[in-house]
Homo-oligomer: A and B are copies of this chain.
């Protein structure tokens, strides 16, 4: 270690004498982010947390997480698929998908059924209740969640943002 073990004055020298508004952040008050502001990954992560938080708020009446919503959407659009196919598409590892499905199935939102062709695999289907919940969830997401995003960003920016994120998710 090369730093002295007692700081305060050593670290911020003649600060107690003059109060120069040299930078936006005073000695107290908000800290300077520095090049953190220019780090895409940093803003990406913080934005993602905010967006998921808002998603949960908007869909709270239906008690669905973003991940659960994505599963229901995918089952609806892709009938006749098995667990591995759905999990892979969503980037969920098969072992971790088991508990997720257990939760959805225990709420009677979807069901596993043995495939007649290959008795190893479970064909996943939405139940009537699953379809109903999905329909209500879609409305909440569109009218509350996405609507708020579009309101904050503006429709054109929202579309541009979506396009860029999709590009990163695929090509990067």
Interface residues of A (CB under 8 A from B): 1-9, 11-12, 25, 27, 30-52, 54-55, 66, 70, 73-74, 76-81, 85-86, 89, 91, 108, 111, 113-117, 123, 125, 127-129, 138, 141, 145-146, 148-149, 152-153, 157-158, 160-162, 164-169, 171-172
Contacts and interface: CB of A to CB of B under 8 A. Distances in A.
Contacts of A125: 3, 7, 11
A9 B149 CA distance: 41
A31 B168 contact: no
Nearest to A8: B116
A3 B4 CA distance: 71
Given A1-B108, A11-B123, A79-B12, A6 B113 contact: yes
